[in-house]
Structure formats: structure tokens, C-alpha cells
Structure 1
Amino acid sequence: MADGTPGIFASLPPVRDVVAGTPAALDALLREATTPFVFRGLTAHWPLVQAGQRSSREARDHIAGFARPVPFAVSVGQSQSGGRLFYDDAHGMNFQTLSAKLPDIFARIDANEGVDGAPSIYLASIDMLQFFAGLHEANHVDLGDRAPLASIWMGTPTRIAAHNDVPHNLACVAVGQRRFTLFPRDQFRNLYLGPVDNTPAGRAVSMVDFHDPDFAAHPRFREALDHAQVAELDAGDALFIPAMWWHHVEALAPFNVLVNYWWRDAPRWLGQAQDALNHAMLAIRDLPDDEKVHWRAMFDHYVFDNGAEVTAHIPEPARGVLAPLTPDTAGKLRAFLLRALSR
């Protein structure tokens, strides 16, 4: 790793390493894994990884050679922020989101490289197929019959607060170094999550500063650390993050590139659980307590338990959305909800 290992990270157990010699072996690992794992050297053969081993400038030239001539969204952090892209004191964001062509963004990174206190420059979750012609084809992992979203993340040193993502994630370090600190799904209460409707990047994030945790304000964070693992990755290494595992991400080198793949095991036509949670806040959370008890029982009956007694008394052709969903019935339910929400 390019830097030292500060504070809390030094004592955390490492994520387990695995070996898979073929795409089929990797596929089997991805299907079976319920906890994170690190695959060392998975992408060491990529031209992008090899360019980055020579210099960060050569890595940027490799990427820029595939870029489409369109504006890219880029986050520019405050000087002296230490790369932490987070809330400011007024609970806005401590970074600006701007739009520029990739050569102009890279020119600014060139100018700032090695400058102490320079603002962070971060391109997050850029769709590789939409914004590049041929970059994905030249640098990709064979994921078999999955149809993942392939994204690229580029920039100067950054710290991204702990958050989770709904899909599974294979995160491949192409240039630089990254540190991931990971927590199981059930640790959300101990991570002190912030707002769900005002977030740095669309997901609720931990309010704990991992480089300077305030245990007086966040005492349960000690419990979270008892369940944490850390993955220190160099260029060519990959990390599998199971769906909804929490992860704090640090890019540690002067220039860093990560390519990640997101995919869900659930059918694409299913709805998003986060949307249901948001709607429950609107429709249920502020009801009288006795009504909330009723709705909790209804959710258990129809959603979480969903036993045979829900439909046994209804003729099979008449069960509608109470039967296992299909693309057709899911579409009808979505249309019904859209009509209801538009009233």
C-alpha cells in the first residue's frame, strides 16, 4: 500500500483471499459466496492495469483514447478536505458537481498531481459502455451469463463514507490502491446512518468519520468494528462485496481507477426495495401506534412470512399479485402503483 494504515484499520481482520483459475471457477465462487473475498491479480493482464504500472499519465492516456466526446460529471472537493467527500457544516455537500470533457478533467488532475492540499477530483460510477467506445472490451472480467452494469471510478485520493448497494459488486482496482472497510448487512444500526433523501451519492451513508471516530457521539460504532473486515487492494486485485454489505472506500494513490460490476440475482422486472421503504415512511411511519401494529402484521402476512395460508383459499387463476410475480403481473402492479401515487 502507498500509505500507512491509520487508526482503526490497523487492527481489523483482513478479508479472505481466494484463488480461481478459470472463469467457471470464479463463477462458482460468486454464486456461492455470502461474505466478501479478495481475488489477487484477477485483472493484472488488463492493458489499463499495465499502463498504470508504468505511470498515472499513461493510464489517463489509455482511458482518454476510448472516451466519447461528451460531458462527464465530475465532483470537485474542497481544498484541505483530506479527500473526504461528505457533508459540510450546513449539511449540504462539501463538493461541487460539475460537467466537463474528459481531457479537460484529466488536464486538471495532471496540474494538481503532487500538490499538497489540492482539491479532490472524482469521477464516480461512469457507465463504461455509454461514455467510452472500446474501453470495456479492452478491459473486462468474464462474468458468464450475468448482465452486469460496468462502471469506472477515477480520481485523486478520496474517502467515501460507508454505504451499501443493493446489487452484488465485483470491484476491480485498475490503477492505484484502495482500502475497503466492510460490515455485514445487520450492522446498519451501529453505523449511524444519515439522511435517506439528502445523500452524497444516492444512498444513506455513515456519519462516522473513520479516520477520527467520535465514540462519545457514536458509541455503537465500537460494536460495528467488532464485525468489520478490511481489504487492502493494489492494481490488478478485485474484491467481491455481497449485496447490501456496508463498505467505506478510500482511494489512496495520487491517481486511482476502479472498474466495478453490479448485478442482481433477482429478476430485472422486480421493483426496488428502497422505493418500498421510502413509501412506507410516507404512508406508515407516522400513523398512530395501534395502526402501525396492524400494518406490521399485514407486511408479515403478505411479504415477510408469505405462507401458504395467504392464498390457499383463493382459486389459483384468481390470485393475481398474491401469486409469485411474473413480468406481466409485475408490470400491472407497477402501473397500478404509478396511478395511485399520481393522485
Structure 2
Amino acid sequence: MADPADLFDGLRPIAEIAAADREALDAALAGSAEPFVVRGLVADWPLVAAGHRGAAQARAYLARFARDTDLTYAEGEAGAGNRIFYDAAMGMNHRTRRARIDTIFAAMEAGEGQADAPLRYIASTDVPRFFPGLAEANPMPLGPRDGLAATIWIGTSTRVAAHCDEPDNLVCTAIGHRRFTLFPPDQFANLYPGPLDNTPGGRAISMIDFHAPDFARFPRFREALRHARTVVLAPGDALRIPSLWWHHVEALDDLNVMINYWWRTRPAWLAEPHDALLMALFALRDLPAEARAHWRSVFEHYVFAPGEAVTAHLPEGGRGILDPLTPETAGQLRAYLLRQLSR
């Protein structure tokens, strides 16, 4: 395992808890909005055992479940390091490839032990669709949840820039070690996010290189570090990442595998908040200052601080979408917006 960079020394560790069974884990997830670590939560997985027997055994175990179809993966340049990021022109510093699992694994194996080997990374791949039976063979002690999804990440040593996800997330490291550094949602501006529409993985990422931070260019990063929490997970360990917490992820070994479990606490029929942000950029940001000030107060009234004054003067049954949304009224609103955007 790689030595920690100086940046991570002295950061606050993520709290560790015990969760002996599904009920204890579900209670911990429901009882706290903070991140936490459960050491050894999935240590009895056959996948973890295969990894302890070596990379070749781990690859063979995963290949047993892989469908005979191409997988999408990222491939870097030889000698370019293990950071998944932008190039100098703000394109990607890696290429998107597709191949069968045996081809990808052969390339990973060929690069093991070579300092200049290109990174290869299968990211966020649906487990039931592409590795049928793997979840059943490696069960997760997690109670039922609306929209629960499992994704697998397989790769060489990589560094993924800090970013956030809207769903709640339970990370399970199966093979290799991973360092996670987390930041509360209110620190997002101090992480200097990059573009919203040109991203390595669909979410804006921090532009800061955590292994060589430029504090002259990114001075507010010092404040973000005051709130940071970090942990190195070993095979079998799990980490709860709450919704919207920013996280920087480093896979530290030649072969690294993790499985993530995602779920949302909001109803599935509500729209994506990120889409609302993009629409606001489209409709509001470039208005004159006085118009923006007006719409800020309108949003505050209807969205961010709604009170009885919003609807008290309206008769029940005649408030439309000002009443709490239902699947039916949300569908009507969605249809209206689609019509407006297609004009």
C-alpha cells in the first residue's frame, strides 16, 4: 500500500462504529447524518477471500460472474500517473474503451508492478446487469430501501477527484485498500469545483490536486481541510457516505475492487435537484442584477422558506402545485416543463 501523502496527516479520522447485524446497521444509518466506518462488515464475502489469495484469484472469481458482453472502462496514458482528471486543454486525460472482462483483466495483469503502466478503471457498473449472481454470492446486511442499487468499481491504482453524489452511499471495499477524504456539503465552494457540463463522471469535481495542492491558486482549500475527515479502508471494511458529502477517493493497490450500495430518501417521482440548477443557470444567472434579486426573493418565498403565507389565501383544492407534490401533480408539472423546453 502506498504511503499517505503529507496532506492527509493530521486530518480528522472518520468515526468508527460496530454493526453486528442488519438491524444494527440500518439503525446506524437511520440515526445519523454523519459518515461512519464499519470495520469488517463484509469480511466474510467470498470476493474478499479471493482477493486475500491474490490478484489472479480475485480476477478469476469476478470473471465467473461477468456477462459475455463488453464493459466500459477508462484507460490512461502510459507514464501519466494514476489521476483521473482533465488534460491541459480541459479534455479528459484518459480514453473511454469497451472490451470483454478477460481483455481488461489481461491488460491490468500485464501492468502489475510497473510504475509507468496506464491506469485502467471500470467505474460504477451495475452489478445485477453485468455481474449476475455476484450480489447473491456476496450478500449485503442492508435492509430494503426504495431504489436500492449496487454498482461495482474495478481498477488499478487510481485517484478520483473530490466530488459529491445525491444518493446516500454505503461503500464496501472488497479487494485492495482505499483512502477516502470527506467534506461536509457546505464546503463545496472551498473545493473549487470544475465545470458542470464537462466532467469525468457526470458530476463536477474539485480542481485541486490533493497530492500537490496549490494554496496560492486555491486559498480557501485550507478552510475545507479544517472540516475534512479521512480513513483508509481495508478489504472487508465499509464506509457510509451521506448524500451530498464531497469525497476524494484513492485506490492504493495494483488491483482494487469495491461495491457501492446507493439509495435515495426523496420520492422517485421528484425531479433531480441538479437539473434544477442547470435550468436556473439557463434562465436566471445572466439576467440583470435587479431581475436576479427579484427571482431570488421569489425562490425564497416558494421553495427555500415556504410558509403558510404562500397558500393561506387560496382555497383548498385550488392550490395546484403549491400544495405538497404527489406523483400525479409531479407528473403534470414534468409534462408542462417538457412542453415548455421543446418550444
Question: Would you call these one fold, judging by a TM-score over 0.5?
Answer: yes
Instruction: Name the counterpart of 1:66.
Output: 65
Give the letter for the 1:214 counterpart: D
SS across alignment from 1:17: coil
Give the letter for the 2:177 counterpart: Q
Instruction: Name the counterpart of 1:262.
Output: 262
Is residue 2:52 matched to residue 1:53? yes
Measured against aligned partners, the alpha-carbon deviations of 1:193-214 in whole angstroms (never above 9, x if no partner) come to: 1100001111000000000000
Is residue 2:310 matched to residue 1:310? yes
How does 1:120-135 map onto structure 2 within 5 Å? 120-135=119-134
How does 1:48-127 map onto structure 2 within 5 Å? 48-127=47-126
Instruction: Name the counterpart of 2:6.
Output: 7
TM-score by length of 1: 0.98
State how far apart, in whole Å, the 2-side matches of 1:210 and 1:175 are. Answer: 23
Give the letter for the 1:237 counterpart: D
Instruction: Name the counterpart of 2:200.
Output: 200
State how far apart, in whole Å, the 1-side matches of 2:179 and 2:338 are. Answer: 41
Is residue 2:24 matched to residue 1:25? yes
Measured against aligned partners, the alpha-carbon deviations of 1:76-117 in whole angstroms (never above 9, x if no partner) come to: 012222200100001100000011111111111111111221
SS across alignment from 1:70: coil
Give the letter for the 2:334 counterpart: R
How does 1:235-314 map onto structure 2 within 5 Å? 235-314=235-314
Give the letter for the 1:235 counterpart: P
Instruction: Name the counterpart of 1:34.
Output: 33
Measured against aligned partners, the alpha-carbon deviations of 1:168-215 in whole angstroms (never above 9, x if no partner) come to: 110000000000011000001110111000011110000000000000
State how far apart, in whole Å, the 1-side matches of 2:322 and 2:76 are. Answer: 48
Runs of 5+ unmatched residues, structure 2: none
Measured against aligned partners, the alpha-carbon deviations of 1:296-333 in whole angstroms (never above 9, x if no partner) come to: 01101110111111111112211111111111111111
SS across alignment from 2:304: helix
State how far apart, in whole Å, the 2-side matches of 1:149 and 1:213 are. Answer: 34
CA contact (8 A) 2:25 2:141 kept: no
SS across alignment from 2:152: strand
RMSD: 0.8
State how far apart, in whole Å, the 1-side matches of 2:208 and 2:238 are. Answer: 26
Measured against aligned partners, the alpha-carbon deviations of 1:116-144 in whole angstroms (never above 9, x if no partner) come to: 21000000000001112201111131321
Question: How many aligned residue pairs are there?
Answer: 342
Instruction: Name the counterpart of 1:229.
Output: 229
Runs of 4+ more than 4 Å apart: none
How does 1:328-343 map onto structure 2 within 5 Å? 328-343=328-343
State how far apart, in whole Å, the 1-side matches of 2:42 and 2:77 are. Answer: 33
SS across alignment from 2:216: coil
Is residue 2:185 matched to residue 1:185? yes
SS across alignment from 1:111: helix
State how far apart, in whole Å, the 1-side matches of 2:29 and 2:122 are. Answer: 27
Give the letter for the 1:246 counterpart: W
SS across alignment from 2:332: helix
Instruction: Name the counterpart of 1:216.
Output: 216
Give the letter for the 2:210 counterpart: F
Give the letter for the 2:90 counterpart: H
Runs of 5+ unmatched residues, structure 1: none
Give the letter for the 1:66 counterpart: F
State how far apart, in whole Å, the 2-side matches of 1:177 and 1:89 are. Answer: 30
State how far apart, in whole Å, the 1-side matches of 2:280 and 2:15 are. Answer: 37
State how far apart, in whole Å, the 2-side matches of 1:153 and 1:50 are. Answer: 17
> In the TM superposition, what is the alpha-carbon distance from 1:145 to its structure 2 partner?
2.0
SS across alignment from 1:144: coil
Measured against aligned partners, the alpha-carbon deviations of 1:41-86 in whole angstroms (never above 9, x if no partner) come to: 0000100001001111111111110111111001001222220010
Give the letter for the 2:295 counterpart: W
SS across alignment from 1:285: coil
SS across alignment from 1:65: helix
SS across alignment from 2:74: strand
State how far apart, in whole Å, the 2-side matches of 1:107 and 1:248 are. Answer: 28
Is residue 2:155 matched to residue 1:155? yes
State how far apart, in whole Å, the 2-side matches of 1:120 and 1:224 are. Answer: 28
Give the letter for the 1:98 counterpart: R
SS across alignment from 2:257: strand
